[in-house]
Amino acid sequence: MEPISSLSRININSFITGATGTEAVDIAFTTPNIEPDTEDWHAAAWGTPTPTGCVARILIGPGDGTVTLTDGTYDMWVRVTGPVQAPVFRTGQIAIT
């Protein structure tokens, strides 16, 4: 993914295989190679479901963004909470400039 300006307010997306789009979904951003703590999680939203999964998304940036990230590199984590399982995925890195 290309670096994102810290001045931008945009949705960050991550496709989750097997998600139906009806589960609770949260996203966290951490220092690389650090697992998220309870306070790192932010409520996220689902895109349109497909037969193979669904896109989890969160609005980042100044103003009305759910999360404001300063310049740096972050690991992005997605937590999907279903009735029985609650998998957590490290879905990649985000560079903010």
pLDDT in tens, 28-76: 999 999 999 999 999 999 999 999 999 999 999 998 888 999 999 999 9
Q: Domain holding 86: CATH number?
A: 2.60.40
The pLDDT, as a whole number, for residue 65 is 82
The pLDDT, as a whole number, for residue 13 is 96
Q: Which tops the pLDDT comparison, 63 or 15?
A: 15
Domain membership flag for residue 39: yes
Residue 1 pLDDT greater than 90, yes or no: no
Q: Are the CB atoms for 61 and 68 separated by under 8 Å?
A: yes
Helices (H), the chain: none
CA-wise closest residue to 23 among 43, 38, 51, 40: 43
- The reply to whether the predicted model has a pTM over 0.85 is yes
The pLDDT, as a whole number, for residue 73 is 98
The pLDDT, as a whole number, for residue 64 is 85
Question: How many folded domains does the chain comprise?
Answer: 1
Domain membership flag for residue 2: no
Domain membership flag for residue 24: yes
Q: Are the CB atoms for 94 and 31 separated by under 8 Å?
A: no
Domain membership flag for residue 3: no
